[in-house]
Every structure is written in C-alpha cells, then in structure tokens.
Amino acid sequence: MPISLSEYEQLSKRLQCVVLYQAGIPLMPRMHGRQYIMLYSLGNFYVEASWWRDHELKYIYAFKSTSELAPYLDSINWREFV
C-alpha cells in the first residue's frame, strides 16, 4: 500500500535528520527551552535544523551560500540562548 504524502514528508524529514547527524559538521549548537538548534555545513551549503529533546525534527532550512547566511546570523538574538 503506498504511503500518504504526509507520511512521506515525515519520513523524508527523519531521513534528512539522520543525514545531518552523520554527515553534518555542527557549527553552532545552541538550545532554546526544549528545542535544539544546530547549524551545519554540508558540502558547499549550510543547513539549520531544529528538533525537540525527544529528537522529533521541527524544521530544516538550507542556505545556499555564505552571503545568504550572514544576514541570518546577524538577526539572531544570541542572548535568548543558553
């Protein structure tokens, strides 16, 4: 029986999360409440991933270049994070 689109999306997110764990180089791990936020370098692009402490992935966002990444880093309120 084929899986539904929503099931596919969930599976796809989990697989991407595994790829990040195994191949990603975490550049700036940080934590906000129950949420982990990691910035990874994957080859020639950057990926931010966020997940809850129970390892449920929340989102993945990719930056294609350092020029895209710089304004994002400037916008972070680092005092929010512990």
The pTM (predicted TM-score) of the whole model is 0.43
> According to the model, what pLDDT value does residue 64 have?
66
Long-range pairs for 66-71: beta carbons < 8 A, 24 or more residues apart: none
The pairing of beta strand 25-26 with beta strand 30-32: unpaired
63 in Cβ contact with 46 (< 8 Å): yes
Residues in the chain: 82
Mean per-residue pLDDT, 42-48: 66
Q: What is the pLDDT of residue 72?
A: 72
Q: For the chain, which residues make up each domain, given as ranges? A: 5-80
- Quote the Cα angle for 66-63-46, to 5°: 75
How much is the pLDDT for 12? 64
For the segment 29-51, the average pLDDT, to the nearest whole number, is 71
For residue 81 the two structure tokens come to: 């994070």
- Kindly indicate the confidence band of residue 22, based on its pLDDT and cuts at 50, 70 and 90: low
